[in-house]
Amino acid sequence: MILTVTLNAAVDDTYEVPDARTGEVNRVAAVHRRPGGKGVNVARVLHGLGHDVVAAGLAGGAAGRQIEEGLGSLGVPASFTPVAGESRRTVTIVGPEVTMFCEPGPAVTAAEWAAFQDGFETLARDAGVVVLAGSLPPGVPPDAYARLTRLAPGPVILDADGDALRLGLAGRPDVVKPNAGELARVTGIGDTAAGIRALRAAGAAAVVASLGADGVVAATPDGLLRAALDRPVPGNPTGAGDALVAGLAAGIADGLPWPDRLRRAVALAAGAVRSPVAGEIDASAVPSFLPHVTLRTEENHAARPHE
């Protein structure tokens, strides 16, 4: 079983407002509503691929019920710890431009966080891989991901930003998946290879840096690998990062070596870009992308053996 953790799960609302105008009252032409948060998105992709997955996290209030009901109707097994606060919503306005508004999330009490950790410890025992992904709601300690990583007996993938990522590294996660912006923010280094080295020095056993259309650069025990598609994929990049993480988790669960893990993850991300619906995957297109993922070994100085 693959366990995903979404401490700041969300109801993701997308509003189609073709002629949206700032400073006005806008009628929303269509509303799309789905359970979200990075870990929830990863769980959805894995479930869609036929993997045995459990989506865990914190959920509260009307939005929390919508998250659990939404996962239920998708058939994704969920195990959320209840919180008294209201889970967050995100609202994305799709008009002449795409604008997103993200609520901060519920205030989590120490007792709720303790209850989550107890449940997590039990679930993680049965997990072949644990995915820790997304932001932390108010009240959850900033080193939450380090604590959870230490509680998990198996491999952990961490996908976060800012302090949640920086302090999470102390838990020595097996794989960290930053994008270019997250890598630069957490290390203060603009160069990808140097940033990856800094993440490894801070505790990450392996790093997979996602670079959008340029694919990924991965510092692994097999060396520094670069995987990318040999052709551009037109579409919507929303959700590609979550699909990439799902591919890495699936690769670990299936015992694939690093090169095959990366190939599959990059092909899955391309399937997310290709899908007409943001955050969904065009699974039928994924096999056709696989032969077009090129893999090459980079100069070796950024790689070091798995400790």
Does residue 24 touch its own copies according to CB under 8 A? Answer: yes
Q: What part of residues 58-87 is at the interface with its own copies (CB under 8 A)? A: 62-63, 65-66, 86
Of the candidate residues 19, 52, 84, 100, the single one contacting its own copies (CB under 8 A): 100
Q: Which is nearer to its own copies, 54 or 278 (CB)?
A: 278
Q: What part of residues 224-253 is at the interface with its own copies (CB under 8 A)? A: none
Q: What part of residues 109-148 is at the interface with its own copies (CB under 8 A)? A: none
Does residue 23 touch its own copies according to CB under 8 A? Answer: yes
Q: Tell me which DSSP letter residue 7 carries.
A: T
Does residue 101 touch its own copies according to CB under 8 A? Answer: yes
Q: Which is nearer to its own copies, 100 or 201 (CB)?
A: 100
Does residue 107 touch its own copies according to CB under 8 A? Answer: no
120 Cβ contact partners less than 8 Å away, ≥ 6 residues apart: 5, 56, 148, 151, 152
Instruction: Compute the least distance from the CB of residue 38 to its own copies, in Å.
Output: 14
Q: Which is nearer to its own copies, 70 or 259 (CB)?
A: 70
Number of residues that bind its own copies (CB under 8 A): 31
Q: Which is nearer to its own copies, 72 or 101 (CB)?
A: 101
CB atoms within 10 A of CB 169: 23
Say which of 12, 242, 254, 260 is annotated catalytic. Answer: 242
Does residue 103 touch its own copies according to CB under 8 A? Answer: yes
The gap from C-alpha 39 to its chain's centroid, in whole angstroms, comes to 5
The gap from C-alpha 214 to its chain's centroid, in whole angstroms, comes to 18
Instruction: Compute the least distance from the CB of residue 102 to its own copies, in Å.
Output: 6
Q: Which is nearer to its own copies, 23 or 188 (CB)?
A: 23
- Three-state SS at 274: helix
Burial class (CB in 10 A: 0-12, 13-18, 19+), 206: buried
36 bridge partner residues = 10
21 Cβ contact partners less than 8 Å away, ≥ 6 residues apart: none
Does residue 15 touch its own copies according to CB under 8 A? Answer: yes
Q: Which is nearer to its own copies, 138 or 291 (CB)?
A: 138
DSSP string across 254-294:
TT--HHHHHHHHHHHHHHHHHSSSTT---GGGHHHHGGGEE
Does residue 28 touch its own copies according to CB under 8 A? Answer: yes
Of the candidate residues 25, 188, 232, 305, the single one contacting its own copies (CB under 8 A): 25
CB atoms within 10 A of CB 283: 15
Of the candidate residues 74, 91, 202, 211, the single one contacting its own copies (CB under 8 A): 91
Parallel/antiparallel/unpaired status of strands 53-59 and 78-82: parallel
Tokens of 258: 């690093």
The gap from C-alpha 249 to its chain's centroid, in whole angstroms, comes to 10
Of the candidate residues 33, 125, 150, 306, the single one contacting its own copies (CB under 8 A): 33
Q: What is the 3-state secondary structure (H, E, C) of 37-69?
A: CHHHHHHHHHHHCCCCEEEEEEECHHHHHHHHH
Determine which helix (DSSP H) or strand (DSSP E) holds 16, and give its type and residue range.
strand 10-16
Does residue 283 touch its own copies according to CB under 8 A? Answer: no
Q: Which is nearer to its own copies, 100 or 213 (CB)?
A: 100
Residue (of 170, 177, 209, 176) closest to 193 by Cα position: 209
Q: Is 242 a catalytic residue?
A: yes
The gap from C-alpha 141 to its chain's centroid, in whole angstroms, comes to 19
Q: Which residues bind its own copies (CB under 8 A)?
A: 13, 15, 17, 20-29, 31, 33, 62-63, 65-66, 86, 89, 91, 93, 97-104
Active site (catalytic) residues? 242
